[in-house]
């Protein structure tokens, strides 16, 4: 989003993980997550890829806040 001193980009993300209960669906999900992991591992990679894409074009990036660091 353009503004007076350049551009501003906000990236927000959320991750929720369901736990508890016993069903075939829960058992299948737990088995799959033990093999391939869950989607939380993709959040830091995606944010890092955004940073790389921006800086690789010669644009200065000023990261204001990040959690987790």
Query: What does the pLDDT look like over 35-46, one tens digit per residue?
Result: 777 777 778 888
Asked whether 37 and 49 are in contact (CB, 8 A), the reply is no
Host domain of residue 27? 2-55
Task: Report yes or no on 47 lying in a domain.
Answer: yes
Task: Report yes or no on 62 lying in a domain.
Answer: no
Task: Report yes or no on 69 lying in a domain.
Answer: no
Task: Report yes or no on 68 lying in a domain.
Answer: no
Task: Report yes or no on 61 lying in a domain.
Answer: no
Task: Report yes or no on 64 lying in a domain.
Answer: no
Structural domain tally of the chain?
Answer: 1
Task: Report yes or no on 17 lying in a domain.
Answer: yes
Angle, alpha carbons 51-44-60 (nearest 5°): 15
List, for residues 13-52, the tens digit of each pLDDT value: 777 766 666 777 777 777 777 777 777 777 888 888 988 9
Give pLDDT, residue 25.
76
Give pLDDT, residue 56.
93
Task: Report yes or no on 28 lying in a domain.
Answer: yes
0.85 surpassed by pTM = no
């Amino acid at each position: 989003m353009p503004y007076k001193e350049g551009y501003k980009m906000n990236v927000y993300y959320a991750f929720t993980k369901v736990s508890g209960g016993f069903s075939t669906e829960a058992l299948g999900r737990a088995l799959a997550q033990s093999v391939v992991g869950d989607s939380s591992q993709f959040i830091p990679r995606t944010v890092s890829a955004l940073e790389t894409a921006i800086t690789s074009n010669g644009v200065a990036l000023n990261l204001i806040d990040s959690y987790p660091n």
